[in-house]
Amino acid sequence: MVIKGKIWILGDNIDTDIIIPTEYLAMKRIEEMKKYAFSPLRPELAELIAPGDIIVAGRNFGCGSSREQAPEIIKELKIGCVIAKSFARIFYRNAINNGLLLIEHSLIPDLISEGEYIAAVIGEYIEYKEAKYDLAPLPPNLMEIIEAGGLVAAMKNKNI
Amino acid sequence: MGMTISEKIIAAAANIDHAKAGDIHTVSIDRMMSNDGTTHLTIDMYNSMLKNPAIADKSKLVFIIDHNMPADSPKTAAAHKKIRDFAKTHEIAFYEGKGVCHQIMMEEYVRSGELIFGADSHTCTYGALGAFGTGVGNTDFLYAMVTGRSWVLVPETLLFHLSGSFREGVYPRDLILTIIGDIGAGGASYKTMEFTGSGAHAMSIGHRMALTNMAVEAGAKTGIFEPDEKAVEYLSAHGRQAKHLFKSDKNARYEKEYFYDLGKIEPVVARPDNIDDVVNVESVKDVKIDQAFIGSCNSGRIEDLRIAAEILKGQRIADHVRLLISPASNSVYQKALEEGLMGIFIDAGAMVVNSNCSVCWGSCQGVIGEGEVLISTGTRNFKGRAGHKESKVYLGSAATVAASAMAGKIVRAV
């Protein structure tokens, strides 16, 4: 699996209220909510993000509430993957369960610039400005969920 | 190698003899709670996306409406109806208007030694009774609801030794904010925060909840206390018994140990917009406030209301301040009525509102406007958490909030 896209940079502790503020959660559809993604921090960002773009953030991305709308909105924006130094654990599970790929990497977030391009070959390496950085594989049970397109799709594959 | 409480609970739930940090196990879930934050989404998925939808064991499920309670718009009313109808059809235990989900779970369901999933991040609260409660999203919840199982990564444990006793005007709320300030908002990511020592055992179950509830704010999977005689007494008073009374083994492995002398803790606040930006109350003492809130799954219990009442008795809040008080459950509300606390609050100029997530949820009640400042006993101070994105939330103890409401600015209670 290869993912390549333009970089948008966010900082440390990007919480779920920044990803989608509570006031928009009553909207019926994720498509309606998506334009408010990251609005408390960067109101213009959701409009600027193009399919395939990659978010790169610092520590503890997705901290806060268990609201699953957070990874769903990022997926709805058609973000290729989120690369961060670390992820909050509930967000991590929710993202995998929705088929949103997350990459934990300690070095990359400090090296990159917004607007540049980055590529990830899953389980092998990340490429940025012609340099390659090691990328550890995900545990097989998680990769199975991602490859199915999310936990519900994986459940269907097992006739649940 | 011995095991921690968390490892023992996961081993029991996985039906194996031994579990250690770093292992991934498939576990049976003892109990599952979902609230109106996401239950309607789980129901939609259940009804439309599965091939053979069926609930594994309805007796393990609890649905609670507490976030937008009572409904504040036709949209939320429709979501509530969906949850109410589904619970009735499938004979699932259902509560609405009775209080904040975690308080109800502690009063009615949680047993020491259980592994509990909640579709809410503050499910870690249940560790106050020595249960392993952890928050999940609605897809994980759906999977557990229909299979009875899920997978868990056995967490590393950080051990917090608590010794000594708090000085006057200092509370467990100040301690947990101090700890989060020390270790950071991701300082316990994926881990258990276990609390031990004489200072831990001296705390009431309600006060223990103030600690375990905030574990997720340091990124933790759960927060947990060893179930002692106080936990057994609490269970017995609520008509229940422990499932397991697990204690960590003497030779259990901890990733790191921390030592806190409760006598050295000061009254603190977390400043906007980061939970780990924790400072002594003195250093923000001139910050003017517009609103104050006492309630939430963190600090809306009888212990907190008593602390607030002691400060507000015979006093008035500042003219420009709105003080909202929401007891964490109706049984807390009743107790506060019996003890005469509600009269004190009303005489002081407070608004006593129904038992719900209230101001801490920032959507249906006591929302603050542009440029306004809130001091709260709630769980979070993220940007825009309580309303407008250009508003500010400070988090402090019930004592600090009550004293600040009177002063019209942030002050120490003592």
Per DSSP, the residues of A76-90 read HTT-SEEEES-B-HH
Tens of pLDDT, residue by residue over A54-64, are 999 999 999 99
Is B132 found in the same domain as B97? Answer: yes
Q: Do B221 and A60 touch (CB under 8 A)?
A: no
Number of domains in chain B: 2
Residue B413's pLDDT is 96
B2 interfaces chain A, CB cutoff of 8 Å = no
Residue B233's pLDDT is 98
**Residue found by looking up tokens 């200072």 in the block:** B199
Mean pLDDT of all residues belonging to chain B:
97
Q: How near does any CA of chain B get to the CA of A51, in Å?
A: 24
CATH topology classification for A2-157 = Aconitase; domain 4 (3.20.19)
Residue B100's pLDDT is 98
Residue A23's pLDDT is 87
DSSP state of A138: P
Domain with B277 in it: what CATH number?
A: 3.30.499.10
User: Is B412 a domain residue?
Assistant: no
A89 interfaces chain B, CB cutoff of 8 Å = yes
Tens of pLDDT, residue by residue over B22-72, are 998 999 999 999 999 999 999 999 999 999 999 999 999 999 999 999 999
The answer to whether residue B169 scores a pLDDT higher than 90 is yes
Is B244 found in the same domain as B284? Answer: no
Of A131-140, B150-159, B262-271, the range with the lowest mean pLDDT is A131-140
Q: Do B49 and A139 touch (CB under 8 A)?
A: no
Round to the nearest angstrom and report the end-to-end CA distance of chain A.
Answer: 27
The answer to whether residue A39 scores a pLDDT higher than 90 is yes
User: Is B119 a domain residue?
Assistant: yes
Percent of chain B past pLDDT 70, that is, above it, reads 100
| Mutation target vs A (from B117, B140, B190; most A CBs, 10 A cutoff) | B140
Residue A19's pLDDT is 97
User: Is B413 a domain residue?
Assistant: no
Is B294 found in the same domain as B255? Answer: no
Residue A140's pLDDT is 85
- Residues whose CB falls within 8 Å of the CB of residue B16, separated by 6 or more in sequence, listed in order: B25
Q: What are phi and psi of B294, to 5 degrees?
A: -120, 115
Q: Which of B261, B293, B313 is the last residue of a domain?
A: B261
Amino acid at site B40: H
pTM of the model: 0.93
Percent of chain A past pLDDT 70, that is, above it, reads 100
Q: Residue B362: which of A22, A59, A93 has the nearest Cβ?
A: A22
Is B191 found in the same domain as B164? Answer: yes
User: Is B62 a domain residue?
Assistant: yes
Is B228 found in the same domain as B210? Answer: yes
User: Is B389 a domain residue?
Assistant: yes
Q: What is the domain extent for residue B346?
A: 268-407
Residue B411's pLDDT is 98
Q: Residue B383: which of A18, A66, A68 has the nearest Cβ?
A: A18
> Complex ipTM, two decimals?
0.84
Q: Residue B219: which of A60, A65, A93 has the nearest Cβ?
A: A60
Confidence bin at B207 (pLDDT 50/70/90): very high
Is B187 found in the same domain as B86? Answer: yes
Tens of pLDDT, residue by residue over B86-112, are 999 999 999 999 999 999 999 999 999
User: Is B414 a domain residue?
Assistant: no
Is B174 found in the same domain as B281? Answer: no
Residue A144's pLDDT is 87
- Residues whose CB falls within 8 Å of the CB of residue B310, separated by 6 or more in sequence, listed in order: none
Confidence bin at A28 (pLDDT 50/70/90): confident
CA nearest B132: which of B26, B257, B231, B30?
B30
Mean pLDDT, rounded, for B247-256: 98
The answer to whether residue A160 scores a pLDDT higher than 90 is no
The answer to whether residue B177 scores a pLDDT higher than 90 is yes
Question: How crowded is residue A115: how many other Cβ atoms within 10 Å of its Cβ?
Answer: 9
Mean pLDDT of all residues belonging to chain A:
94
Confidence bin at B223 (pLDDT 50/70/90): very high
Tens of pLDDT, residue by residue over B328-385, are 999 999 999 999 999 999 999 999 999 999 999 988 899 999 999 999 999 999 998 9
Closest B-chain CA to A27:
B75
Q: Which of B205, B228, B261 is the last residue of a domain?
A: B261
Is B282 found in the same domain as B245? Answer: no
Residue A142's pLDDT is 85
B41 interfaces chain A, CB cutoff of 8 Å = yes
Is B277 found in the same domain as B249? Answer: no
Is B135 found in the same domain as B104? Answer: yes
Residue A141's pLDDT is 83
- Answer for the pair B360, B393: CB distance below 8 angstroms, yes or no: no
Tens of pLDDT, residue by residue over A41-97, are 999 999 999 999 999 999 999 999 999 999 999 999 999 999 999 999 999 999 999
Q: Where are the domains positioned within chain A?
A: 2-157
Is B72 found in the same domain as B199? Answer: yes
Q: Which of B229, B261, B293 is the last residue of a domain?
A: B261
**Residue found by looking up tokens 């993220």 in the block:** B382
The answer to whether residue A132 scores a pLDDT higher than 90 is yes
- A59: tokens are 């520590």
